[in-house]
Amino acid sequence: MPRLTEHVARELYYVIDQPPAFMSKELRELHERILAVGDPAAVTRAERNQISHRLPPEEEDRLCREKVGLSLPELKDKVMTSGADTLTEDECAMILFRRAPYFEMDLLPDEKRLVQQVLELLANDYDQEVWRRTYFRDRAFDQVRKERKAKIKQEKKAAMEAKIQSMRPLWVLDMFAAKLPRWGFVVFRTAYGVGMDDKWKLFTAIHSITAMKQFHCWYRAQELKRNLEPLFVSESQLDGADIDTLRRRFKTMREQNEIPEGLATDCFLVVDKEVLNHPVITSKTQYQPKTPGAADAWDTTLPLTAVDPDYDESASVSDDGESSGFKGTITIPLPKVFDWLYYCFHAKSEDWETRYKNTIGGPAEAMVSIIESPFPTDQY
């Protein structure tokens, strides 16, 4: 069947009766009667339509007038008198549309011969020429159909993308909008020695798997994992290094542009001996994300130290009792590294004392909303 205008072809397809699975007694008798008479002129249009499983003539003409303003015979005459070049796409569709019902039926060998004989008897030069001219005219609309199909596909894709965007949390949208080539933190290793290399490899694997699971909790945030490329620093001279030593090392990296674009330059993470000897690593425990609405249980993840590289101990600290213990570091569960911690630096939404207050209650701080914000605080 030729490719037709979508809405016309669809309506024709559903209006015209589906061909039966088998040839009915009535349809067989009609074929036999036509062959017995042997005169194509004696076959009415209604009988021709019945053989082709088309609508009755009055219904066919009604639909044709509704779509193109002419009955089907008038439309065929237009092809022969005015030329097929004047036909619209819908007019071509009305003429060319037809089923091939006998290919869809389970016919017996003698029924197949009967059908073939009737089709050969009813074939005529007029209908064949109308079909031929209309067919070649219809090919002129191929490019139009191709462009229309591509436009519809693009519109559907844009609508789907808009729907996805509307359902993403604002912080996820902001991260996508930033188009970061790479993001994450510098992560320093400070524990070396027997068995520590294997534990460090396990940590980097747990880091990646935890990120993937954490993003899966956020709607349509999985793509953020593609550009998550932390800088893991493993240097034996940092064995047992204290926070001040790591600050100096980080500042040197920052000053010498050793930190790739997109990675945080106002925070780094520390993986010390306590982390590498943590039961999560020694037992190879996989992080299990919380269910929506439930409190975060951090017994299947690692507590990391996040460090303010520019912390000045001599600077005045707030008299607020909640922040009085802040010494330039906070402890944070690994899963919150990937949403809350990085994003609050990206969005510049909090200072270090505020971050400390948000984590001072312990690692069981729950995310307020799985839809709106990654921050473990009720101020968002």
Q: Which of 10-24, 58-72, 349-363 has the lowest mean pLDDT?
A: 10-24
| Residue 337 DSSP symbol | I
The strand pairing partners of 369, in sequence order, are: 373
Among residues of the chain, what percentage have pLDDT more than 70? 81
Amino acid at 316: S
- Mean pLDDT value across residues 246-263: 96
Return the closest-CA partner of residue 226 out of 290, 176, 289, 277: 176
Q: Tokens in use for 199?
A: 């534990």
How confident is residue 318, by pLDDT bands cut at 50, 70 and 90?
low
Placement of tokens 């939404």 in the chain: 349
Q: Which range in 244-258, 271-285, 291-305 is most confidently predicted, on average pLDDT?
A: 244-258
Structural contact between residues 208 and 232, judged by C-beta atoms closer than 8 angstroms? no
Report, as an integer, the average pLDDT of 298-324. Answer: 77
Report how far residue 361's alpha carbon sits from residue 80's, in angstroms, rounded to the nearest whole number: 87
CB half-sphere exposure, 361, CA atoms < 13 A:
9
Q: How confident is the model at residue 44 (pLDDT cuts 50, 70, 90)?
A: very high
How far apart are alpha carbons 37 and 48 in whole angstroms? 14
Look at residues 317, 315, 337 and name the one whose alpha carbon lies nearest to residue 326: 317
Q: What average pLDDT does this structure show over 166-185?
A: 85
Name 308's Cβ contacts closer than 8 Å, sequence gap at least 6.
266, 267, 328, 329, 352
